[in-house]
Amino acid sequence: MMMVYLSKNNKKNNFKKNGTIFLFFLLLFLLFFFGKLSFLNKPLSFIVKPISNLKTNSSELVSDFFSFLDSKENLLRENKLLKDNLSKNELILINKKLILQENLALKKMLGRTELESNLILANVILKPGLSIYNSLIIDVGLENEIKKGDKVFAGEDIIIGEIEEVFKKSSKVRLYSFPKDKIEVVIGFNKILTIAEGKGDGVFEIRLPQGTNIERGDFVTFPEENLNVLGVVEEIIMNPEDPFETILFKSPVNIFELRWVQIRQE
């Protein structure tokens, strides 16, 4: 069997070689650290500076992009807030007008005086839930020249239904929100003419193609010159798989709390 032995000289040579390499790198580090290798600054700067500039420019670009997104989101948020406030203010004005008209009506109630030449004030005897579903019973009838088809208002400009049956001293009002009943309406800022379907309890539904720019708070009116308000958009339901959107709107008044209505005689 043949055996190989490392001589002491070889071990010493390897130790010297490793020590020399270590000393070389140590010396190089010290010279560079203390500025003795300043001639390398320009080449290193030539390599490092573009990388540093690229990093800085990228950071600024990303920062500008997110700043743009934040600004856009803030603008959209402020725009929505303004629209919501506008809709709330419009509803407040409608309600104030309704209260003023009700006060005027109450003052004239004893004599059953006409509010206008073609408006008759009526007391609500039975409300929805107590009378026939989605109907009202009022205390004026044939004696007051009420006719089938006369329009019924909760206030001067908020239309809620029409006379369906007339008796001697009372009448039945069928609300436009009666389930499955369909009526022609105008909706939104662009005055889109369409059909609304009653869903009950003062709620209506409209189906329109997506992209018609209908928004929450938009008013829904009758397609007449006096633009009687029927409701206010409360919800818009969209499905990516459906080319149409479902718009739900509701009467600005609570039909379950009505005490007085006005009948406009045709």
List beta partners, residue 191. none
Give pTM, 2 decimals: 0.59
pLDDT at 155: 76
**Which residues are within 8 A (CB) of 123 and not within 5 positions of it... i.e. 6 or more apart?**
109, 138, 139, 259, 260
Contact 94, 223 (CB under 8 A): no
What pLDDT was estimated at residue 210?
92
pLDDT in the model for residue 142:
95
Specify the pLDDT at position 90.
60
125-146 residue pLDDT tens: 988 766 577 899 999 999 999 9
pLDDT at 10 over 90: no
Read off φ and ψ for residue 121, nearest 5 degrees: -85, 140
- pLDDT score recorded for residue 266: 73
pLDDT-derived band at 177, boundaries 50, 70, 90:
very high
In this structure, of 2-6, 55-59, 192-196, the range with the lowest mean pLDDT score is 2-6
Determine the pLDDT at residue 205: 98
pLDDT at 1: 44
Apex 228 CA angle, 225 and 234, nearest 5: 130
More confident residue, 133 or 63: 133
SS3 readout for the chain = CCCCCCCHHHHHHHHHHHHHHHHHHHHHHHHHHCCCCHHHHHHHHHHHHHHHHHHHHHHHHHHHHHHHHHHHHHHHHHHHHHHHHHHHHHHHHHHHHHHHHHHHHHHHCCCCCCCECCEEEEEEEECCCCCCCCEEEECCCHHHCCCCCCEEECCCCEEEEEEEEECCCCEEEEECCCCCCEEEEEECCCCEEEEEEEEECCEEEEEEECCCCCCCCCEEECCCCCCCEEEEEEEEECCCCCCEEEEEEECCCCHHHCCEEEEECC
138 vs 111, higher pLDDT: 138
Instruction: Tell me whether residue 1 is exposed, middle or buried, using C-beta atoms within 10 angstroms of its C-beta: 0 to 12, 13 to 18, 19 or more.
Output: exposed
Q: In which residue are the tokens 């010159």 written?
A: 225
Domains by residue range for the chain, with CATH: 178-250 (2.40.10)
| Amino acid 30: pLDDT | 55
* pLDDT level of residue 23 (50, 70, 90 thresholds): low
Q: Pick 79 or 169 by higher pLDDT.
A: 169
pLDDT digits (tens, 9 = 90+) for 225-257: 567 899 999 999 999 899 999 999 999 999 888
- Which whole number is the average pLDDT over 193-216? 94
